[in-house]
């Protein structure tokens, strides 16, 4: 599907300045005459493929990942169709640029590389007029909103308004990976200040130079935003992204049964991790109900994964209390056990009767996990003794170092394979290159949320779902795992090749939309051919003819 936007009487420079209508040198001679473009462009008409050669050549000339990110951002700001044509033509090369790991550095530098506004900024100064701000957005048919307050950007902490790079990047993946039309996507920054003193003192910082808004005032602003979306964009799904732990769980629990919303850090990460665990069964030979999972990190990602694992286990017939007992957590103070008096609410379901353990290695020896999952944001915490202990306890130890960006990974792919004598089933949050060990090449899987959230969003948008449920992420995880081929597993990869991401997202979209219809959560009547309908909604980076 091409863009659904109409020209609405726009001509000439207006068309060139709108990235959704701009075709640049690809405007035909007839279009130039009819739309007042004659003379505003060089006289030669280029095909989209010729344009693609030019922009890819320019991209390759950029000296480092940050410069490549800046170039791609500028291209997206002037010609969305060409941007997505380029990204899809070189997806494996460009995914690490438009999102992790480069987006982390881009957010750190955001105020210094900023060129033009993208998305909406709702600040702590806007209480009482949020709906008015939402009305300023030019496209009324918004289906996916990604919103952050910038408090916990990847593993980098509080980046305040610089965190806008995350919603922008996430929504680029919605379109590139799942074909959600770009005009239906809206990035939002809730600028409630920052506790990062260095940012507040940066003269180029774009956000409010004040401490973070907390408590009732913060809640009131978020609630005004959520309620405003229901009025202005009633078919939109709100994705909460990179909020701090103190707010993420609370906001999800507050809104998930009231509006169409989810938290990708909690539920999307859970989905992609569960998919990896499901597909890894085919390598380890150990069924999910027979496994024990040890997490380093008990924040949004870890607890979210734990709950979704429990959903999968109960679906397999395991009682919930037994399922929870299969999930163990290590936080900054050691093993999460019932005797501790310092546990916050979201950890209590996974606090078990066991003696304390201060270190990760001690916890590994105590719990004897089949799978070790890192969501700590603490680099190099899966050290050699820990990985070797996992390899001693398991013929095929599952080691997932999921923290982003690459610099925050708990271990590298090379370390995991070397310290396990090539027996580890490894996945990471950011990409690692293949590793050759003792003559065998291992291709590490990337447990990137982009395998899950774009397809979920596609299904929610296509089916006009009123809610996003945990069951949708379970269905998405199962669908993703089923798409892993024997050829993938032969090289140790437990996720499909990234080149298949659109196929993956479409399959997940159909499964999620089907569930929405079966659960009575869809606003529309079920199409006769659901698969064909979902695929028909997907944006393709092709120019539309205007005359």
Report the pLDDT value the prediction gives residue 246, as an integer from 0 to 100. 86
In sequence order, what are the beta bridge partners of 189? 121, 148
Q: Mean pLDDT throughout 4-12? A: 76
Q: Work out the pLDDT band at 155, boundaries 50, 70, 90.
A: confident
> Would you give the end-to-end CA distance of the chain in angstroms?
18
Q: Residue 100: what pLDDT? A: 87
Q: 27-60 pLDDT, tens per residue? A: 999 999 999 999 999 999 999 999 999 999 999 9
Q: What is the DSSP string of 262-286?
A: EEIIIIIHHHHHHHHHHHHHHHH--
Confidence band, pLDDT 50/70/90 cuts, at residue 9: confident
Mean pLDDT over residues 88-103, rounded? 94
What pLDDT is stored for residue 4 in this prediction? 41
Six-digit token string for 31: 């279009």
Contact 17, 77 (CB under 8 A): no
User: Tens of pLDDT along 407-442?
Assistant: 899 999 999 999 999 999 999 998 899 999 999 999
CA nearest to 462, candidates 519, 507, 529, 512: 512
DSSP-H helix ranges across 18-64: 29-34, 48-60
Residue 447 pLDDT grade (very low, low, confident, very high; cuts 50, 70, 90): very high
What's the per-residue H, E or C state across 334-350? EECECCCCCCCHHHHHH
pTM attached to this predicted model: 0.94
Question: Tokens 């309620």 sit at which residue?
Answer: 227
The region, left, alpha or beta by phi > 0 then psi within -120 to 50, assigned to residue 383 is: beta
Whether residue 66 is predicted with pLDDT greater than 90 in this model: the reply is yes
Is a pLDDT exceeding 50 seen at residue 1? no
Tell me: pLDDT of 94 over 50: yes
Question: Is residue 378 scored above 70 in pLDDT?
Answer: yes
pLDDT of res. 369: 98
All structural domains of the chain: 47-259 (3.40.50.10380), 267-450 (3.40.50.720)
Active site residues: 99, 170
Per residue in 398-409, pLDDT (tens digit) is 999 999 888 899
Measure the CA dihedral 34/38/44/49, to 10°.
-50
CA distance 171 to 186: 8
**Residue 24 in contact with residue 79, Cβ under 8 Å?**
yes
Percent of the chain surpassing pLDDT 90: 95
* Number of neighbours of residue 220 by Cβ within 10 angstroms: 13
Q: What are phi and psi of 122, to 5 degrees?
A: -115, 115
- The pLDDT mean for the chain works out to 96
What is the rounded CA–CA span in Å between residue 305 and residue 287? 17
- Residue 275 to residues 225, 255, 279, 481, 538, Cα–Cα distance (Å): 33, 26, 6, 5, 24
pLDDT one-digit tens code per residue, 279-318: 999 999 999 999 999 999 999 999 999 999 999 999 999 9
Q: Which of 70, 150, 56 is nearest to 106 (CA)?
A: 70
DSSP 432-446: ---EEETTEEE--EE
Q: Is 80 exceeded by the pLDDT of residue 5?
A: no
Percent of the chain with pLDDT over 70: 99
DSSP state of 401: E
Residue 317's CB: how many other CB atoms inside 10 A? 8
Indicate if the pLDDT at residue 21 is higher than 60: yes
How would you class 348 by CB atoms within 10 Å of its CB: exposed for 0-12, middle for 13-18, buried for 19 or more? exposed
Q: Distance between CA atoms of 172 and 85, rounded to whole angstroms?
A: 12
Please, are residues 504 and 179 in contact by the beta-carbon 8 Å criterion? no
pLDDT of 476-496, one tens digit each? 999 999 999 999 999 999 999
pLDDT digits (tens, 9 = 90+) for 200-256: 999 999 999 999 999 999 999 999 999 999 999 999 999 999 999 889 999 999 999
The predicted model gives 128-148 an average pLDDT of 97
The predicted structure's pLDDT at residue 217: 97
pLDDT for res 405: 84
Q: Is pLDDT at 92 greater than 60 in this prediction?
A: yes
Ranges of H-type helices in 371-431: 384-393, 413-419
């Amino acid at each position: 599907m091409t863009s659904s936007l109409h020209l609405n009487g726009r001509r000439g420079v207006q068309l060139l300045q709108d990235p959704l209508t701009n075709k640049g040198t690809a405007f035909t001679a007839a279009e130039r005459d009819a739309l007042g473009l004659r003379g505003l462009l060089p006289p030669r008409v280029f095909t989209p493929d010729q344009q693609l050669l030019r922009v890819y050549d320019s991209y390759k000339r950029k000296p480092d990942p940050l410069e490549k990110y800046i170039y791609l951002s500028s291209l997206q700001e002037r010609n969305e169709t060409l941007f997505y044509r380029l990204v899809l033509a070189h997806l494996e090369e460009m995914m690490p640029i438009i999102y992790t790991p480069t987006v982390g550095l881009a957010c750190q530098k955001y105020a210094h590389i900023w060129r033009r506004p993208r998305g909406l900024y709702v600040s702590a100064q806007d209480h009482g007029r949020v709906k008015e701000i939402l009305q300023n957005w030019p496209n009324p048919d918004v289906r996916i909103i990604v919103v952050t307050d910038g408090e916990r950007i990847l593993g980098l902490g509080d980046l305040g308004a610089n965190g806008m790079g995350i919603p922008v990047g996430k929504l680029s993946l919605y379109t590139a990976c799942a074909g959600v039309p770009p005009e239906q996507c809206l990035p939002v920054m809730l600028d409630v200040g920052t506790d990062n003193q260095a940012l507040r003192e940066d003269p180029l910082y774009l956000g409010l130079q004040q401490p973070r808004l907390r408590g009732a005032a913060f809640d009131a602003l978020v609630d005004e935003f959520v309620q405003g979306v229901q009025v202005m964009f009633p078919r939109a799904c709100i994705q909460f992204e990179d909020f701090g732990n103190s707010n993420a769980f609370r906001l999800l629990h507050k809104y998930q049964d009231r509006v169409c919303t989810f938290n990708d850090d909690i539920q999307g990460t859970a989905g992609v991790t569960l998919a990896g665990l499901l597909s890894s069964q085919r390598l380890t030979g150990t069924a999910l109900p027979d496994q024990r999972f040890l997490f380093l990190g008990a924040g949004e990602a870890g607890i979210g994964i734990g709950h979704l694992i429990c959903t999968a286990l109960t679906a397999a017939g395991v009682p919930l209390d037994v399922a929870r007992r299969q999930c163990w957590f290590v936080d900054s103070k050691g093993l999460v056990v019932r005797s501790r008096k310092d546990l916050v609410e979201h950890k209590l379901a996974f606090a078990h009767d066991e003696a304390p353990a201060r270190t990760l290695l001690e916890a590994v020896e105590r719990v004897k996990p089949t799978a070790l999952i890192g969501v700590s944001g603490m680099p190099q915490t899966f050290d050699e003794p820990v990985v070797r202990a996992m390899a001693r306890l398991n013929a095929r130890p599952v080691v997932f170092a999921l923290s982003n960006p690459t610099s925050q990974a708990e271990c590298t792919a090379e370390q995991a394979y070397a310290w396990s004598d090539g027996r580890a089933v490894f996945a990471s949050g950011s990409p690692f290159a293949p590793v050759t060990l003792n003559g065998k090449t291992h291709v590490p899987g990337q447990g990137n949320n982009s395998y899950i959230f774009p397809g979920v969003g596609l299904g929610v948008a296509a089916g006009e779902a009123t809610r996003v449920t945990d069951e949708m992420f379970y269905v998405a995880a199962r669908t993703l795992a089923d798409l892993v081929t024997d050829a993938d597993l032969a090289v140790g990869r437990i996720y499909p090749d990234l080149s298949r991401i659109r196929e993956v997202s479409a399959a997940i979209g159909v499964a999620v939309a089907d569930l929405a219809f079966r659960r009575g959560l869809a606003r529309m009547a079920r199409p006769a051919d659901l698969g064909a309908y979902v695929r028909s909604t997907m944006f393709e980076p092709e120019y539309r003819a205007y005359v």
